[in-house]
Chains A and B, each alone.
Chain A
Amino acid sequence: MVKILHLSIIMATLFLIPTVSLAFAAESAGEYIDRKAEIWNLFFRLMVVAFVVGGVIAGTMVWQVWRFRESNPKAKPTPYEEKGEL
């Protein structure tokens, strides 16, 4: 439990607090902006996040399929398989 608390504090410091404060900093707007640049830059940033997440998920699935295949020498039978119930 203590570990989880520590982890939460670290995550909050690294990500949550900076992003929330960034969002509240938007009060100083009302200046001339290049609408096209702002919107496309947002799109690119979010696409970076989307592709990184997609890559990690796809990579994890490929690794799982490879690691837990039946023919893997490191594969261990499940308790059910050991007992011959399956």
Chain B
Amino acid sequence: MGHSNWAEWIYVAVVIALLVYVGAEAWNIENLIEHTPEDAEIIKVTAQQWFWSFEHEDGTKEVGELHLKKDHAYKFEIRSIDVNHNFNIPEYVVLLDAIPGRINTVWFSPNQAGEFDIQCREYCGLIHYNMRAKLIVEDV
């Protein structure tokens, strides 16, 4: 059946353009938030049933609390020594799995002083609900 199909071609072009736009935007932001600044301090995060422990670059260790400085960049190296956990700071949209045998990394820069929650976001056993820690951001 003969018919004009210019409208179909416009439709296809618009769909392709939208998909490219969505993909490019998402890729751009993904790159931006994954690219760690050079001067980021490395914090080793260890998850285990049912608490968090942290080790700073200078060897200082903390359990259940993490003290950071405002407007500094931090790169978390997250690992688990028992089951799967998930390291989450809701206020700063930090969310990454802690998997036994792997080190996952994520970076962020706190831009607000105060106390914030750190929690486990992957069901990890009986006391998962209370696997929490405090993030204390100091205005230095």
> Residues of A with Cβ closer than 8 Å to B?
3-4, 7-8, 11, 14-16, 19-20, 22-23, 25-27, 29-36, 38-40, 42, 45-46, 49, 53
Are the CB atoms of A46 and B25 closer together than 8 Å? yes
Are the CB atoms of B24 and A30 closer together than 8 Å? no
Interface string of B21-61 (1 = CB under 8 A from A): 11111111101110111100000000000000000000000
Main secondary structure of the interface of A (DSSP, over half): helix
Checking A4, A33, A40, A42 against B25 with a beta-carbon cut-off of 8 angstroms, the contacting residue is A42
Are the CB atoms of A23 and B27 closer together than 8 Å? yes
Q: Given the complex of chains A and B, what is the CA–CA distance between A35 and B29 in angstroms?
A: 9
List, in ascending order, chain A residues with CB within 8 A of B71's CB. 32
Interface size on B, residues (CB 8 A): 34
Are the CB atoms of A29 and B13 closer together than 8 Å? no
List, in ascending order, chain A residues with CB within 8 A of B92's CB. 35-36
> Residues of B with Cβ closer than 8 Å to A?
6, 9-10, 13-14, 16-18, 20-29, 31-33, 35-38, 71, 73, 91-94, 108-109, 111
Q: Given the complex of chains A and B, what is the CA–CA distance between A49 and B29 in angstroms?
A: 16
Top 4 closest A-B pairs, CB basis? A29-B35, A15-B17, A26-B31, A23-B24
Are the CB atoms of B93 and A35 closer together than 8 Å? yes
Q: Given the complex of chains A and B, what is the CA–CA distance between A49 and B31 in angstroms?
A: 21
Are the CB atoms of B32 and A45 closer together than 8 Å? no
The distance from the CB of A57 to the nearest CB of chain B, in whole angstroms, is: 11
